[in-house]
Amino acid sequence: MNIRAQGLEFIRVAFGRVALIHRHYSRRFRAFWVFLSALVLLEIFFTTPIHSPSKNSLAGSPGVELSHTLQQRLYIAALHYNDEELLRKHWIPAVLDLAKHWKPENIYVSISESGSWDGTKDALTYLGHELGRLGVEWNIEMSNITHEDLVSREPAENEPGWIWTPRGKLEMRRLPYLAAERNKAMAILKELAHRTDKPSRAFDKVLWLNDVIFNTDQVTALLNTHHSDYAAVCSMDFLDPPRSPIFYDTFAIRDFAGHAALSQRWPWFSASESRKAVRSYSPVPVQSCWNGMVVFDAAPFYNDPPLQFRGIPDTLADKHLEGSECCLIHADNPLVRDKGVWLNPNVRVGYNEAANKVVNPEKGGWPSAYGKVQGIWANRWAYWTGWPWRWSAERKAERKLREWEAGERKDGEADRHEPGKICLVDEMQILLSNGWMHI
C-alpha cells in the first residue's frame, strides 16, 4: 500500500472512530438532557401546586378580625435620613392613609430625623401638619447635627461608641449610633403613659417602618400574622438588581436555627422549619428579622427597665465583630421565648418602585413557577457550595466571643456576656461624614 493509500485509510479509520465516539456521547448527552428535563418537570410539579397569594388577598374581607385590628392601639416609629423623594412620593401618603383607617386616639407617630441635607425636614414638617389635621398625635425630632459633625469631633476619654479601627484611627461605630436614634423615637412611648397634662395613652403594638413603599393592607396583614400572637413579626424587603428582586436586609435576619439567610432568593433559608413555612406561604418562624416593616408586642417596652435598642459592647467590637441593633433587640426581648419571632412571606415591601411592582404584581402571585424552581436551585447551590464559608464564619465569631468573655475586664466592668450570639458577624461598621462603611 502506498503512502497516499495509507493516509486515506488512516483518515477513514480516524473519522470512523470519531463518529462512533460522537454517537456514544450524543446518546449520553441526550440521556442527560432527558434526565435534567424530567427533574425540572418534577420540581415544577411538586413546587407550583401551592398557590402564590396575590397582593389583593392581603386586603381580605371586612369582618371581626379586621375590625379588631383597627381597634389595636398602634405606635408608629421611624428613622429618616435624606429620604425626601421617597417620603413625598410614597411614604407620607401611605402613613396618612394608614392614619385615616385608625381612630386618632388609637394611633401615634414618632419619627427621628438626623442631619439630612436634602428636603427631608420640609417633607416631615408637612407630614406633621397633615397628621394634626387628622387629629393624630405625633412627635418628629429633627436634628441639624450632621454625620460630619459627629465624626469630626474629639470624643471624651473612654466615650462609648468609639473604637480603634484597622485604619489606625479612633472612629465612631455606626450601630450604637443607630440604636440611640431608635431609642429617641421610642422614648415618648413611656412618657405618654405617665403624662398628666393630657389623658395618658398606652399602646398594644409598636410598628417600625423603614424607608420602604408600603400600604395599609400590608400593615393590617402584618398585624394579623399568627393571629396577632407574637413577640415580633416582619415583612420581607426587596431591592431591584439587574435581573430579579432580591431580599435586602441580610444583616438582621436569622432563621429558626439561628443561621443567616442561605440566599437572597426565595425560599431564602437553610433551616427546614423556616424554609417549609416559606414554601407554604405560612407564618415563618425565625429568631430575628427586620426587613422593611416590623411589629412588636408593645409590652416589653413598658418594662422597668424597658426593652431598648443597643449595640454590642465596644470591647467586643474591638475583636472585629458587630451585631445589628435590629437583631439584638430580639435577643433581648423577654417575650420571644413564649411568643416567638415570625416573618410573613406574603407581606413584601420594596425600597424602589421597580422591586415593589415585581414582588407585588397586579395579577397572579409571586414568585412565578419559574421563579420558584430557579430560587430552589439557587438555594441548593448556595447550600452545597457555601457551607465551608458559613461554617468557618460562625466558628470564627464564636471563637472571638469566647476570647472576649474570658478576657481581662476593666475596673468596674460587669461579667462579660452577650445574649445576641446569633447576631454577631466578623466585620466593623463605622460612621462617615456622608454615610457609613464596612471595615
For residue 58, pLDDT over 70 is answered with no
Which cell is 103 given?
381612630
pLDDT in tens, 231-253: 999 999 999 876 677 899 999 99
pLDDT in tens, 277-322: 999 999 999 999 999 999 999 999 999 999 999 999 999 999 999 9
For residue 419, pLDDT over 90 is answered with yes
Percent of the chain with pLDDT over 90: 77
d(CA 209, CA 225): 17
- By DSSP bridging, strand 424-425 and strand 322-323 are antiparallel
For residue 216, pLDDT over 60 is answered with yes
For residue 49, pLDDT over 50 is answered with no
CB within 8 Å of 93: residues ≥ 6 apart: none
CB 243, CB 255: distance < 8 Å: no
What average pLDDT does the structure give for the chain?
Answer: 89
pLDDT in tens, 372-402: 999 999 999 999 999 999 999 999 999 999 9
- The pLDDT value recorded for residue 364 is 85
CB within 8 Å of 219: residues ≥ 6 apart: 98, 207, 293
d(CA 191, CA 189): 6
pLDDT in tens, 340-370: 999 999 999 999 999 999 999 998 889 999 8
Q: How far is CA 354 from CA 213, 246, 292, 361, in A?
A: 11, 12, 16, 11
For residue 40, pLDDT over 80 is answered with no
For residue 81, pLDDT over 80 is answered with yes
Which cell is 84 given?
425626601
- The pLDDT value recorded for residue 29 is 57
For residue 273, pLDDT over 60 is answered with yes
